[in-house]
Chains A and B, each alone.
Chain A
Amino acid sequence: MVSIEEYGDFDTSWCPGCGNFLILKSLKQALAVQGIAPRDVIISSGIGQAAKLPHYLRCNMFNGLHGRALPVAQGIKMANPEAAVLCVSGDGCTYGEGGNHFLAAIRRNIDLTLLVHDNQIYGLTKGQASPTSARGHVTKAQPEGNRSDAFNPVSVAVAMKAGFVARAFSGEPEHLSEVIREAMAYKGFSLVDILQPCVSFNKVNTYGWYSQRVYFPQNHDPSDWGAAMVLSEEFGDRIPLGIIYRAEKPVFGLGARLAEHEYDKNDLKAVLQSYT
C-alpha cells in the first residue's frame, strides 16, 4: 500500500478556491490507490498554472516549456517503459501551443496519461482566451468576444480514435480520481480533459456553471465509436462526464530501460565491418 501522505503536501501559488487543488488531490488519490510509489512516477508538464502541479507533488518531474510537455513525456516513456508517465498541463499549453504535439501523441499511442486542466482561459498570463474558450467569450484581450470557435479536445480525440478519452470535472473529485486511475491503467495514450474553474479569470465557466451542466450518462457504451462521437459533441447546456471512448489499439512498442542499455562490442564491430 502507498499512502497519500507519501506524495507530500506543499504550499502552492494557486489562488484560493482554484479548481487545480482538487485535481492535485484526486491525482494523489489515484496514485495511492494503484500502489504506485513516488519514485516510479514521472510527470512532465509545460508552462501555466496547471503545469505547476508536479512542483506540489513528491515525484520525479520534468517541468519543461510551454506547449512541449507531450514530446518530453513521450521521450521519457521511450527511455523508461517501466515508469508511470503522466503529462499534466493546461488547455492553452496542450491544445494551443502544443496542438500539433497533441495530434501526434494520439497517433503515436505511447502508453502514458495526459491530464489537461481545462479552464477555458489562460490563467498564468491573466485571462486571455484559450483554444477552448467559447466563441463570444469576453476577456480583456477579446473585448468584443472571442472571434474563434472553441476547440473541442474530446471530439478531436474521439474522431482520431484515441484509445482512451474521458472528461472529468474537478468539482467531482471522487469521479475524477477514478477516471485518472482507469486512464493510467489503460495500455496506450489516454486523455482526461478536466473541467477546472479558474476563479480569478474565468467569470463565465464557474463552479456553478459547470455544476449545473455536468451529468453522468447512463447506458453509454464507450466502445461504440459512433455513440462516443455524438456524446463528445455535447458541450453546452449539458456536459457529459466519464469515459467517452475506449478501445484497444496497437501501442507504440518500447524496448529496455535505456539507462541500463549498452551495446555488445561485437555487435558494433559487425556494424563497422559492414562498411568495408
Chain B
Amino acid sequence: MSGKSINVVIGGAAGQGLVTIGQLLSKAVVRAGHHLLVTQRYMSRVRGGLNTYAIRMGGEDLSGGTESIDILAALNAEAFSRHVGDVVDGGLVVAGTDFETGEREALRIPFEELAPKPLFHNTVMLGVLGRTIGLERGILEDLLRQTFGRKGEEVIGANLEVLRNAYAWASDRDYGFSRRVGPGSGPGRMMLNGNEAIALGALAAGCNFVSYYPMTPSSSVAMTLIAKGAPLGLQYEQAEDELAAMNMAMGASYAGARTLVTTSGGGFALMGEAVSLAGVSETPVVCIVVQRPGPATGMATRTEQADLDLVLHAGHGEFPRAVFAPATPEECFYLTHRAFDLAETYQTPVFVLSEQYLADSYRDVEPFDLDGLPEVARPLLEWNGGEYKRYAETEDGVSPRLVPGFSEALVRADSHEHDESSRVTEDKAVRVNQNSKRLRKESGLFEEVIGPDYYGGENADVLLVCWGPTLGACLEAVDRYEGDKSLAVLHFKQVYPLREEQFMDFLESAGRVVAVEGNATAQFARVIAGETGFVIPDRVLRFDGRAMTWEYVLKGLTDIL
C-alpha cells in the first residue's frame, strides 16, 4: 500500500446523491489543508447506471488519477461488485445493509438507525466517510451550515444532528483503517474543476460575452460564466445551434465584446464554417473545445484526446490560429486568459482544447493571482488616423481593429476576399496581399509560443511526450517506475504552433521517445512529425474512454521497453 495518498471512491447510481456527498467531502478535504484530485466517471443518463466519484487526497501534489481504491463507499450492489476488486490490501469497504457483500469485510452503515428519513442518507455517509479519513467534525459542520444556509435553521439543525450521530457511530467502530495523509499546503486553497477554471480565466481576461449550445462535457464552462459573470454584466445566450452560437460570437466580437464560445467535438464540427469566417474577417474569438470520444456522438460522458486534428484543421482556407491544451485547473485559468490576449492581439480564433477528464476533475489550487495577470489587448474605440481601413496591410499583418459605432469612421468586416477597405475583390494581387497579410500574423503568434515543460534529468533513456491532462499520469508513472532506465517527461500545453528550437534537443538527446496520448492514432506525434520531421516511434495510446493513469502508462512502457 502506497503511503502517499488515499483514494476514496464513492460509487452508485445517478440520482443517489453521490455527487453531493463527494463534493461536500472534497471541500472538507481541501479545507482541512490536504491536496486533492477528484475524478468523476458517469454515464449518459440522469438516473440509474453506475457512476463513480473518486477523491484522491494526499499530503503531496497529486498528479493524476489512479485505479486502486483505498476506501470504497458503495451506494449499491453494482458499485460494490464492480469495484471491490480494485480495493487495495488494508483498504476499507463502506456500504449500507441493503445488499450482500459476501466474504468481504465491510463497514455496514445502519442508515435507518442513523437517519430519520432517506433524505438524510447523504449526510450520514458524509459523517461516516469524514470520520474514517480523519477529518475534524467542525469542518464538516461548517460545510453543512453553508450548504443548507438558505434552507433555514430547521434544516441545518436536523442535518447537523444526523452528522453528529453518524460521526459518533463511526468513531465507536474499529474498522481497521487507520491510514492518514499528512497536511498539504494548508487551508485557504480554491477547489475547482477544469471547466470552472476556464470560465474564471475568461472572466479574468474580461470576457463579457458567451454564446453556446449545450453539449456535455463543455456546458459547465458556459454555466459557470453565466452564474458568476452575468451579475457583473456578462451577456450570454443559449443559441439555437452551434452555427448560430459561433456566428453570434462573430457579431458580438465585431461590435466590441470579449467573446467566448464553448462546445465539444460534435458541436465544434458545426462551428467550422464560422471558424473560417473568424479567420478571414479577422474577428477575435476564443473557442473552448472540451473533448469526448467520437466519432459523431461517441461516448458523451467519457474522455479522449482525439479532436486535435479537427481543431487544427477546422475551417476552410488558410488563416492563423493558436491552440492551447491545459493539463490542470491552473493551466486552464492562465491559458484561457492568455488565449483572450492572443485572439485580441492577432484578431483570429484561438482555441483551448480541454477534455472531459479535466473538465470534471476537481483539484485544490493556489488562489489565482488576479493582480499579477498581464493586461489583455483591447480594440480601439477612437480613430484619428485619417481614412480608416479595416484590413490595412501592415508589416506584422495586424490591422488596427476599431469598434463600430464609437467614432465617425465606419467599420466594415467581410467574409469574402476583400481589399484593405473591405471591398469584395477577385483581383489576384489584392488576394495575394490580403492572404499574405493574414498569414503574416503567424510570425507574431510564433514569437509568443509557450514551449513545452521538461521534467527529468538530462539525456533520459526514455522520454514520454504528452499534451494536455495526460501529464499527470506520465509524471506519476515516472515516479513509480521501478526499472533500471531513466525516465523523463516532455509536456506540451501549447500544441500549435510549435517552435522546434524549444524542444528538438530533448527529442534528439533522449534514448527513446514515447508518445503518450488519449487517442488511437497518436495525433500529436503526427503534428510533431509534420512540423519537424521527427517521427516518434513508440506509443502508449488509450482510447477506451477512460483517462490516462500511471498504471496504464507503466503497463504500456513494460510492453515497449
Contacts and interface: CB of A to CB of B under 8 A. Distances in A.
Interface of A: 38-40, 42, 44, 47, 52, 54-55, 58-65, 67-68, 70-80, 82-83, 100-101, 103-104, 108, 254-265, 267-269, 271-272, 274-276
B413 A83 contact: no
Residue of A68, A79, A101 with highest tally of chain B CB at under 10 A: A79
Given A257-B256, A262-B206, A276 B233 contact: no
Contacts of B277: 64-65, 68
B240 A103 contact: yes
B407 A64 contact: no
Given A42-B405, A268-B370, A74 B233 contact: no
A272 B199 CA distance: 11
A275 B13 CA distance: 27
A183 B237 CA distance: 24
B404 A71 contact: no
Interface stretch (B76-84, B188-196, B504-512): B188-196
Contacts of A64: 247, 250, 277, 281, 415
Given A60-B404, A78-B235, A79-B209, A42 B255 contact: yes
Contact of A72 (B250, B258, B404): B250
A101 B251 contact: no
B251 A258 contact: no
A63 B414 contact: yes
Residue of B191, B233, B245, B379 with highest tally of chain A CB at under 10 A: B233
Given A79-B235, A267-B232, A62 B250 contact: yes
Contact of A100 (B203, B240, B249, B257): B240
Chain B interface size, as a band, is: 35 or more
Contacts of A61: 410, 412-414, 422
Nearest to B423: A55
A254 to B, nearest CB: 7
Contacts of B228: 271, 274
B273 interface: yes
B187 to A, nearest CB: 8
Contact of B251 (A44, A262, A272): A44
Contact of A59 (B200, B240, B410): B410
A262 B251 CA distance: 19
Given A64-B247, A104-B244, A261 B281 contact: no
B235 A254 contact: yes
Contacts of B232: 263-264, 267-268, 271
A63 B412 CA distance: 8
A78 B381 contact: no
Contacts of A67: 243
Interface in B240-277: 240-241, 243-245, 247-258, 273-274, 277
B169 interface: no
Given A71-B243, A258-B258, A65 B405 contact: no
A62 B254 contact: yes
A258 B415 contact: no
B252 A76 contact: yes
Contacts of A58: 410
A86 B235 CA distance: 20
A38 B409 CA distance: 9
13 contacts: A39-B405, A55-B424, A63-B412, A63-B416, A64-B281, A75-B255, A79-B251, A104-B239, A258-B258, A263-B208, A268-B204, A272-B367, A276-B191
